[in-house]
Amino acid sequence: MRMLNFTAVLLALSSAFLLYGLNYDTRLIEAKLHAREREAERARADIAVLRAERAHLARPERIEPLAREMGLEPLSARHLLPGTWSDITTSSTAK
Amino acid sequence: MGAHPVLMQKSNLSDQTLIARSVPVVPRSRSRILALMVLVAFALVGGQLVRLAMEAEATSGLRVSMMSASPATTLARPDIVDRNGRLFATDVQLPSLYADPLLIQDPDEAAETLVRLFPHHDVRELRRNLAEDGRRFVWVKRGLSPRMAQTVHNLGLPGVSFVDEVRRTYPSGRLGGHVIGRVDIDNRGTAGIERYIDETGASEEAIGARLSARAPVRLSLDMGVMHAVDDELASAMKRYGASGAVGLVMDVNTGEIVASVSRPGVDPAIVEEGLDPKRIDKVLAGTYELGSIMKLVTIAMALEDGKTLDTMVDTTAPLTVGRHTIADLHPLGRPMTVAEVFVHSSNVGSGQLALAAGAERQKAFLEKLGLWTPVGTEAAPPPLPQRPAVVGQAEQITMAFGHGLAVTPLQFASAAAGLLNGGKRITPTFLRRDPADGEPEAAPRLVSEHTSRMLRDLMRRNVTDPGGTGRRADVPGYNVGGKTGTAEMAVAGGYRKKSVIASFLGAFPAEAPRYLTLVMLFEPEGQKVTGGEITAGRNAAPTTARIIERIAPLLGVATAGL
């Protein structure tokens, strides 16, 4: 009986210590997690800005004059050879 | 036996003690109590574990709420992209500048320093706000550029600080501005698709300055096509001296609006432009008498009622109803066939066809086509068509050639799409339809397939016929069909001569149209290139040709016969 008591007390004590340690670790991990989350949040914010900037730079209004300066022009029927159309439409991004 | 339960227990107890006494080992009851205590101890430990876990959660939540110092809650909005995923609108995090008046030592100096950086601010108002007693929060400027934020930071003013906020940006500028709409200072949608997003609950309260992680709203618009239309309209306005223009491209089978341009446009980021009545969205919010393009509807009704393309119509003399006389621009002086009424755009012929159908039938047909009641989209509440209160003979005739009934260009385009796609009614939409969803469920029929085929044929004939009004809309390689319309502009108290809306309704490829175009030029002037004329055949038709030549390859429409 005393043996049982002793082990029970021991068990209670050790689990208390274990719990304390676990709790401490958890807080540490949590802090790390928050740091990571903040990092991810910052990265997401940066990505959003970069995406917006990229879209702004790639807006058709700006690309068109640049493309024309390079000698490009809108595709028209006279650029196409008979029978080539289906090849283009099935392989390109159209739709 | 009927013994009292309490007495029974008592007797049981005494039995137990008897047994306990008789057995000299550890009493079982005591070991049970011990086990119970151990159990309680473990339960306490477990409880503590749960409590700690919950407490930790609560504190982390507290941290978040402390981070968002701003009293106003802003909305985190999903991106708006075009049908191919190109960005129309997105949220970014930007610092906003606020002040705590309690910490500001010299409100006068602070206000003057800040106004030097933000010249649009009223220095007196800012000074008053900064000096106000008991106030702890004053917005100075929301949504600063990072560089501006650094400049303010370098001033080292006490009492002013930054908080990150979610702000909407529109990388494509004016392109699509009308459809996209706009948001207010708290990132809440107040017009267009932005408003629709809030109404459908796709946006969410922004905690801190967190960006929305929701899937983007995918529109049916195609940015490339939008730009091509916009660009061609801009040069057409210059070429023909027009004060405004509309360009609409719609998928006739699905009702998806691929391009919707109204010039002058609006930049969603500039609130004043969105509120300027000169810049209203003519496609969705303006109602106009569309003129002769409405004859498509009249002819469709006649064909549905059993007339054929060869049925003769009396167009020998002008029509007179009451004090009104309706004549043709270029009278042939002989009876015309139904086909000729369309191709020569005869007002008299259309009027005769409407009179033959009767007022009730004409009204019912307009109702069926959605030209009598408002037709809306996600982007805007629909305005009520301006229609005659009583449909008498005069109204019948004028409506037959597109006067006396004012509808939105979108509304007309939707009706025309239904007439040309084989007769199925479509619902116009700004949202991309997923092809995987399959065909839209059996839509009500507007006209028979046969009628639809004849209408396509007429549209094409109007372009290929040497005398057709739409011949300048032809594009080699794409079989364009179309109808011109030149409507005198209604102003208060009547019509202004020489002030017209020139429109062209186009469809390509004409034999089985996939896309419909509607081009409108407002108040074009006679120019050298048009031979001094202001009719749609000289300005709106060639503009349509340029647009179709540019957008057909983008839309994947094959060339024919080349």
Among residues B64, B82, B114, B33, the alpha carbon closest in space to that of A93 is found at B82
Which secondary structure element, helix H or strand E, spans residue B80, and what is its range? Answer: strand B80-81
A23, B63 in Cβ contact below 8 A? no
**Residue B358 burial (CB count, 10 A):** 13
Q: Is A91 on the interface with B (CB under 8 A)?
A: no
Closest-CA residue of chain A to B52: A23
Residue B239: what pLDDT?
Answer: 94
- Measured between CB atoms, which of B226, B227, B477 is closest to A64? B227
Pairing of strands B336-337, B312-313: antiparallel
Q: What is the ipTM of this complex?
A: 0.73
**A2 near B CB under 8 A:** no
- Give the chain A residue whose CA is nearest to the CA of B213: A44
pLDDT of res. B441: 64
Radius of gyration of chain B (CA): 36
Please report which helix (H) or strand (E) contains residue B204, including its range. Answer: strand B204-205
pLDDT one-digit tens code per residue, A11-50: 999 999 999 999 999 999 999 999 999 999 889 888 998 9
Q: Which amino acid appears at position A23 of this protein?
A: N
* Catalytic residue (one of B68, B70, B262, B292): B292
Please give the Cα distance from B440 to B497 (Å, whole number): 44
* Shortest Cα distance, chain B CAs vs residue A2, angstroms: 11
Q: State which residue of chain B sits closest to A33, comparing Cα positions.
A: B60
* Nearest residue of chain B to residue A17 (CA atoms): B45
- C-beta atoms of A89 and B558 within 8 A: yes
Contacts of B75 (CB under 8 A, 6+ apart): B166, B183, B186, B187, B188, B189, B198, B203, B204, B205, B206
* Record: contact B476-A77, CB cut-off 8 A: yes
- For B:13-42, CB contacts with A below 8 A are 26, 31, 34, 37-38, 41-42
Q: CB-based contact (8 Å) between B149 and chain A?
A: no
Q: Would the CB atoms of A61 and B173 count as touching at under 8 Å?
A: yes
pLDDT (0 to 100) of residue B67: 42
Q: For an interface test with B, which of A29, A32, A54, A85 has the most B Cβ atoms less than 10 Å from its Cβ?
A: A85
Q: How many CA atoms lie within 13 A of B417 on its CB side?
A: 28
Identity of the residue numbered B337: T
Q: Which residues of A touch B231 (CB under 8 A)?
A: 64
Q: What is the C-alpha radius of gyration for chain A, rounded to an integer number of angstroms?
A: 33
Question: For residue A59, what are its two tokens?
Answer: 């807006």
B217-218 and B80-81 strand pairing: parallel
Q: Any idea what DSSP says for residue B306? A: T
State the smallest CA–CA distance between residue B343 and chain A in angstroms: 27
Distances (CA, A) of A78 to A84, A90, B234, B550: 12, 20, 24, 12
DSSP readout, B276-303?
-GGG--TTTT--EE-GGGGHHHHHHHHH
Active site residue B292: yes
Interchain proximity A82–B554, CB inside 8 Å: no
One-letter amino acid of A22: L
Distances (CA, A) of B77 to A27, B137, B222, B371: 33, 25, 21, 35
Give the nearest chain B residue to A24 (CA atoms).
B52
In chain B, which among 227-286 make CB contacts under 8 A with chain A? 227-228, 231
CB contact under 8 A, B42 and A15: yes
Residue A14 near chain B (CB below 8 Å): no
Q: Measure CA of the first residue to CA of the last residue in chain B; give whole Å.
A: 112
Assess B550–A contact: CB distance below 8 Å, yes or no.
yes
Query: B56 contacts in A (CB within 8 Å)?
Result: 26-27, 30
Task: Compute CA B351 distance to the chain's CA centroid, rounded to the nearest angstrom.
Answer: 35
CB spacing of B42 vs A19 below 8 angstroms: no
For testing contact with chain A, the best of B87, B251, B480, B557 (most A CBs within 10 A): B87
Token pair 């008591």 is at which residue?
A5
Mutate which of A25, A32, A51 to disrupt the B interface (most B C-beta within 10 Å)?
A51
What are the chain B neighbours of A45 within 8 Å (beta carbons)? 92-93, 164, 209, 211
Question: Are B171 and A75 an interchain contact pair (Cβ–Cβ within 8 Å)?
Answer: no
- Return the HEC string of B128-175: HHHHCCCCCCEEEECCCCHHHHHHHHHHCCCCEEEEEEEEEECCCCCC
Spatial separation of the C-alpha atoms in residues B31 and B486, rounded to whole Å: 104
Per-residue pLDDT of chain B (562 residues; tens, 9 = 90+): 444 544 444 444 444 444 445 555 556 788 899 999 999 999 999 998 888 877 765 555 444 444 444 445 778 899 999 999 999 999 988 888 888 888 888 888 888 888 888 888 888 888 888 888 788 888 888 888 878 888 888 888 888 888 888 889 999 989 999 999 999 888 889 999 999 999 888 887 776 667 887 889 999 999 999 999 999 999 999 999 999 999 999 999 999 999 999 999 999 988 888 888 899 999 999 999 999 999 999 999 999 998 999 889 888 888 888 777 888 877 788 899 999 999 888 999 999 999 999 999 999 999 999 999 998 899 888 888 999 988 888 899 999 999 989 999 999 999 999 999 999 999 999 999 877 666 666 678 899 999 999 999 999 999 998 888 888 998 888 889 999 999 888 766 666 667 899 999 999 888 889 999 999 999 998 888 888 888 898 999 999 999 999 999 889 887 765 4
Nearest Cβ partner of A74 from B38, B90, B550? B550
Chain A nearest CA to B543, separation (Å): 15
A:17-76 residues touching chain B, CB 8 A cutoff? 19, 23, 26-27, 30, 34, 41, 44-45, 48-49, 51-56, 58-61, 64, 74-76
User: Which chain A positions have a beta carbon within 8 Å of B76's beta carbon?
Assistant: none
Give the residue, B44 or A85, on which the prediction is more confident.
Answer: B44
